[in-house]
A and B are shown apart, each in its own frame.
Chain A
């Protein structure tokens, strides 16, 4: 039976852990605020250096001087730069991201459509890459220099060097245009696309919620190719980096000891090495996921996928400042959250940091 004295340290330990979690959470929130503020100030400053006149974009070429000035005032562009930045910050606090000049819609509602589309694509691609990449990493680390190792190296090289738009077009040509196995560019067949209501913005979920026969199957057919294109680029990176981390550990004393005790390669890799490289694995996966969130623009263009990358690119080409700032804000927040989550996961899984 534990005495009162024995129980005290347990209670203190719990309190310490809670306080530590609270401090970590507060630090994370502070990092988020500082990063987002810095990011927005930088993007806002760069936008103001653009040679493109946003007023002309609104009123057109033929507007009179009076119309031009009215629009300039309405957009707040007749104020000084610091004042504009301050007003912009105040609007952000009220969750008002302004109206996009290219879609004519509130940026918030544009992002509410574009972000889930990208999240769905990136998450599925990430899951596919994680399963395939980690499997390849373990199999090739078990037999370095083998046939699979060489094949993975070639696959990784192709995945990294092949342009996504080209690979996307080739896959579309073969699997959509010739074999009719995959769906067309877009998120659903025409028969479903405009009858399925957008509740969540995730096509699989919305198709399932609609209850329309065939809608889920159509959504899967349309998702397969863009997910493959994104996953191919990431799988090779994950496989090579995790393999290198695994092999780096294989020469360590604890591995030699495990071998001496009769452990097989699979057991050594999974039970002994994996916990020691969990930080590397999580970091590689987090970086890959982050790159998928904002770097899928070419894939989104080829597959007519209305995601965040294409939204931001269209806004950049049109100098649509509210849309650029809104998309930058969302991507920045995603990055910071992903970073924090990765740090927490690494702390939780690595005994040395616990």
Chain B
């Protein structure tokens, strides 16, 4: 009997292995293959990693959000309208009539106050964004007030205008959370943070059905979403760490969308009849930075080195030949496509000019600089290209490939000499990037300028003036002049801007993605 059972089991195994495996995602489900290992928390007050930020638009909504089609314009979302106070220090929002959370509870002014104040009080990684409004754990509740059943007043103490405040409120950290659903799940005064790590309580087009860390995030459609129910019933984001495996999944049809494929993989799929590659703008900028505060290598403080470096990067070869069109040349700190971005590209590879600048600036030939880079493609390849072009001017770049966490650690402690990094802005306002690159208040806020050891009291004041400027046109003008100054005289060399390429099955329609990391929209996807 036991022998018969064993034989039956063996036969079942053989038959199941020989049977054709399923090779299509379910018709009502969108399956996305990407790396999810970076997710720390799915609480919008805490999550600040790429994968969690990319999913917040599917789970939560803010009072106002960037219009998916025209991100430079604000779209009413949970607020149907708003009115700024004459003094420019507060806004009254009218909540959308009949708006409900996925759990069925109505969206109330109390939810707005609870959500924004809990984000400030929890004080996790993204809380600094709301801190730009002068909100602190001590004062935030006093600045948020219920006016009536449908109106809420949001005030701030920082010297910024309503335009900037509205942009700050579009950040995922300002997502509105269902207080009625979260309150019973609070533990030890955590405002539901522990529960929200793996659950959702928002009004977005989807809600979390199941989250398996390192495995998958499974979402179900929210039919009551105030901006309309999504077209598909389920969204599964699968953690597939290996890019080659992601490519196979989308080719075969077990995944509908694959993210972050390498240039070679995308090139190989160009002739595929089953998948297409769609290109989206991305605000990710790549730049070289020298650390002027490093006492071990005095040449790093020499502006002649910074100036010469701008003429020692072969921008076109990097973007075109080496990185196969996944990047475009961009030489200013605001990404192309962003309101107020400087589009001029004055620099190109000119070794003779760089040599002259170095000689005039007193930089001796044969100088050695240690260059830290991430040890993952394409960074070592970029570093080798830089090494070759810098060597032509007598500068020896000693490449140090390091794991990402070590690159960040060395940069944060200013122990690097030079580093190739990328920048993703934290929220959709020019101040997010300007305050990092053109402001060094030396008050403990470790901006990029601080990490570069760049002392810029004048630019720091200008940056503050720009954020306080109420007139949008004048504000953009101020940012253009800031970019021009940084482009010409800083220890940074802005070189490349990413183009996000997403591979998807040909039957997938309606996927939208914007400049910022959080601007990923699955609600209009059909297949």
Binding site for B on A (CB under 8 A): 51-53, 56-65, 67, 70, 101-105, 110, 113-114, 165, 169, 172-173, 176-177, 180-187, 189-191, 193-194, 198, 216-218, 220-221, 224, 301-304, 306, 310-311, 314, 317-319
Contact = CB atoms under 8 A, between A and B. Distances in A.
The 3 closest A-B pairs by CB, nearest first: A60-B125, A217-B16, A62-B128
A183 B444 contact: no
B488 to A, nearest CB: 26
Contacts of B410: 51
A304 B255 CA distance: 13
A103 B36 CA distance: 10
A217 B215 CA distance: 20
A104 B213 CA distance: 9
B16 A216 contact: yes
B224 interface: no
Contact of B252 (A57, A61, A176, A187): A176
Contacts of A310: 214, 241
B254 A190 contact: yes
Interface in B372-411: 403-406, 408-410
A220 B214 contact: no
B405 A224 contact: no
B40 interface: yes
B265 to A, nearest CB: 12
Nearest to A320: B405
Max chain A Cβ within 10 angstroms of own Cβ: one of B22, B128, B216: B22
Interface string B101-133: 000000000000000000000011110100100
Contacts of B249: 184-185
A158 B403 CA distance: 31
Contacts of A60: 48, 124-126, 128
Contacts, number: 168
Contact of B412 (A61, A101, A185, A317): A61
B440 to A, nearest CB: 14
Contact of B20 (A51, A180, A317): A180
5 contacts: A60-B125, A102-B37, A172-B248, A190-B236, A194-B218
Given A60-B125, A60-B128, A193 B197 contact: no
Interface string B3-47: 000000000110111111111011001010000011111000010
A304 B238 contact: yes
A193 B40 CA distance: 22
B242 interface: yes
Contacts of A113: 212-215
A91 to B, nearest CB: 18
B509 interface: no
A306 B126 contact: no
Contacts of A220: 13, 16-17
B204 to A, nearest CB: 19
Contacts of B12: 216-217
Contacts of A64: 128, 444-445
B405 A190 contact: no
Nearest to A117: B215
A182 B21 contact: yes
B419 to A, nearest CB: 14
B240 A185 contact: yes
Interface string B416-431: 0000000000100000
Given A65-B444, A103-B39, A319-B405, A186 B21 contact: no
A102 B40 contact: yes
A169 B252 contact: no
Contact of A186 (B20, B240, B413): B240
Contacts of A191: 22, 26
Contact of B216 (A70, A194, A318): A194
B299 to A, nearest CB: 24
A177 to B, nearest CB: 5
B22 A104 contact: no
B245 interface: yes
Nearest to A179: B20
B157 to A, nearest CB: 16
A221 B21 contact: yes
Contacts of B241: 301, 304, 310
Contacts of B15: 217
Interface string B224-256: 000000000000101111101100110110100
A157 to B, nearest CB: 25
B40 A101 contact: yes
A194 B209 contact: yes
B405 A184 contact: no
B146 interface: no
Given A104-B41, A182-B21, 13 more contacts: A51-B406, A52-B406, A56-B412, A62-B128, A62-B445, A102-B38, A102-B40, A105-B213, A113-B213, A113-B215, A169-B242, A189-B22, A190-B29
A104 B16 contact: no
Contact of B17 (A56, A114, A221): A221
B197 A177 contact: no
B216 A221 contact: no
Contacts of B213: 103-105, 110, 113
B404 A317 contact: yes
Nearest to A56: B412
Given A60-B125, A102-B37, A310-B241, A52 B409 contact: yes
B446 interface: yes
A185 B214 contact: no
Contact of A67 (B29, B123, B198): B123
Contacts of A172: 245, 248
A105 B39 CA distance: 11
Contact of B22 (A67, A218, A319): A218
B126 A194 contact: no
